[in-house]
Structure 1
């Protein structure tokens, strides 16, 4: 065998070994200390397709964290992004329940047809289902919700008893949040004053259209014939929900332990406005805990990771727990442990 052939063979063998090691690392890092099962929940004449993740601790009953998604077409696992959080819950003795939004991953319906009240009804039905299960402690069921879920969480608590709430990057007022997000993204892009004024003027036009209940066709006409990425379904969703304001619903959380999680690099939500709203509504009850993560983005990912698509992908494959801001996962576990200790 020539030296060239030997070198090629060695290179091929080492490449194969490296690929096997990498595959093993990916498999190991994406394995979680919990069991998952698909579940079906009947609600309003259709079926919610969900996932129930339970701890591997030998207990016959567990508390439950019910997940309420943010905006967008989210499936039950949030493309596996929830799994590190579910694992943290499992370490505290809690199961986790989540489901595909209507119309996502083959689920019936269309999430764009929902109001925030519809979403709350859906979650209340899921909690009622969970309370019928012998492996779930019906007295230790709480909520986890991110972003848009901030308008849903207190509505759920007004419908059915919950033991705690974890609110991650929630907003208070839909229109204020939209304006904050618009300006924050323009500043991040280094937009000129002229561009900022043009975008604000366009946003004001959209608000006037929403106030008078304009159709999608009227929106397109007002935008000069350009939909600018808007769809008829999305316009209908915004039209149904743009008056959302958590201020009037937050009192339903008084006396319930609430963990409010806020990110230092949040361009979606004005965290000062959110913290002020939660403190005004809930501090008198003495059950509010606020945690700031200065290095995190709206999704509680590390800002240093999220700014690179490549780094997000590599971290998700090789160290998915490291996607999140330092202390976020452990803080969630500690909150659950302290708020309602598991019974043995």
Structure 2
């Protein structure tokens, strides 16, 4: 049987499965939340946001303010956040997130932002939310992933009145994180020692250009990146590559949950856990490490967007993408951060 014919048969089977299981898909994506599109004002640009409220009740509800990681991101991260929003709703919390500037027609360009800019943006969202009648201004917490680890501690350090902070897969230092990610991904695909050495040389060349303040034309001339960064991306990295959260952490006085995946290829979670434990009072810090979980606290084998299995799980059982116990931990921590 030809490869083309096998693919056609497989596609037909998936189509039949989708048609016959349509009811299941509807149920699995019928989260116990209701969403409202909002415009968040008070910052550098109006933000196109989504406010996810518990399905039942009039409030006032607590609120979890979401901050994305790197890359293009819609408010619900292409529905990836919805199971998390549901978990917080079970604890009596609404969730607030927004399209990154420049995404989905939102004004601005997220690649123009520093990590400090993103912290100020988050503070503007908090201030805006306190004027909403359905929100309890005394119960506002933060959730962030990956690059948000250079954003949320700055916010929490300035706002000790916050109810809690939850961070998934945050790094400590931008430069060390980049090298760790490079080595981990090359190791994952069994790259040769020669390839690793070549990639490390390319990386050091780019860091030298950044330290020298090279403009984009010089970067394009001198880099061996394949493909090279876009001009916006080069500018973004130049503004942020010295990010390090070490100095802010000792000033955080907000109950904090650190969620780490043991198979994180992006962040050295051992370093992250160590630095947080050294920097924050033990009474305020809870560290949860999830075996066989990825950077996104998703079961490692399911955190592959080009995988048919991942696609089917996301379609039919989206809550099952996450590492066992993670969604429950979010709900329980939000309900009572003092118990953890």
* TM-score above 0.5: yes
Distance in 2, matches of 1:62 and 1:339, equals 16
Distance in 2, matches of 1:73 and 1:18, equals 31
Query: After superposition, where does 1:1-344 map in structure 2 within 5 Å?
Result: 20-160=19-159, 161-224=161-224, 228-254=227-253, 256-282=254-280, 284=281, 286-307=283-304, 309-339=307-337
CA contact (8 A) 1:220 1:227 kept: no
- Check 1:187–1:236 CA distance in 2 against 1; reply closer, same or farther (3 A cut): same
Q: Which residue of 2 aligns with 1:6?
A: none
User: Residues 197-229 of structure 1: CA distance to partner in whole angstroms, max 9, x if unpaired?
Assistant: 1111111111111111111221121125x6624
Gaps of 5+ in 1: 1-14
User: Residues 1-59 of structure 1: CA distance to partner in whole angstroms, max 9, x if unpaired?
Assistant: xxxxxxxxxxxxxx999654321111111111011000001134531000001112324
Gaps of 5+ in 2: 1-13
Question: What SS is found at the alignment partner of 2:260?
Answer: strand
User: Residues 159-184 of structure 1: CA distance to partner in whole angstroms, max 9, x if unpaired?
Assistant: 43411000100000000000000111
User: Residues 129-188 of structure 1: CA distance to partner in whole angstroms, max 9, x if unpaired?
Assistant: 111111111111010000000000011123434110001000000000000001111111
User: Residues 253-292 of structure 1: CA distance to partner in whole angstroms, max 9, x if unpaired?
Assistant: 23x110000001101000011001100111x352100001
CA contact (8 A) 1:64 1:137 kept: yes
Deviation at 1:60?
2.4
CA contact (8 A) 2:91 2:331 kept: yes
Question: What SS is found at the alignment partner of 1:246?
Answer: coil
Distance in 1, matches of 2:36 and 2:311, equals 26
Distance in 1, matches of 2:307 and 2:266, equals 18
Deviation at 1:336?
1.0
TM-score, normalized by length of structure 1? Answer: 0.90
Distance in 2, matches of 1:153 and 1:45, equals 18
Question: What SS is found at the alignment partner of 2:336?
Answer: helix
Q: Which residue of 1 aligns with 2:9?
A: none
CA contact (8 A) 2:62 2:93 kept: yes
Distance in 1, matches of 2:288 and 2:89, equals 21
Distance in 2, matches of 1:216 and 1:327, equals 45
Please give the root-mean-square deviation of Cα atoms over the aligned residues, in Å: 1.8
Question: What SS is found at the alignment partner of 2:105?
Answer: coil
- Check 1:217–1:19 CA distance in 2 against 1; reply closer, same or farther (3 A cut): closer
Question: What SS is found at the alignment partner of 2:293?
Answer: strand
User: Residues 94-117 of structure 1: CA distance to partner in whole angstroms, max 9, x if unpaired?
Assistant: 000000000001101100000001
Q: How many residues align?
A: 324
CA contact (8 A) 1:261 1:292 kept: yes
Question: What SS is found at the alignment partner of 1:299?
Answer: coil
Higher Cα Rg: structure 1 or 2? 1
Deviation at 1:304?
2.4
Question: What SS is found at the alignment partner of 1:301?
Answer: coil
Higher mean displacement: 311-320 or 213-222: 213-222
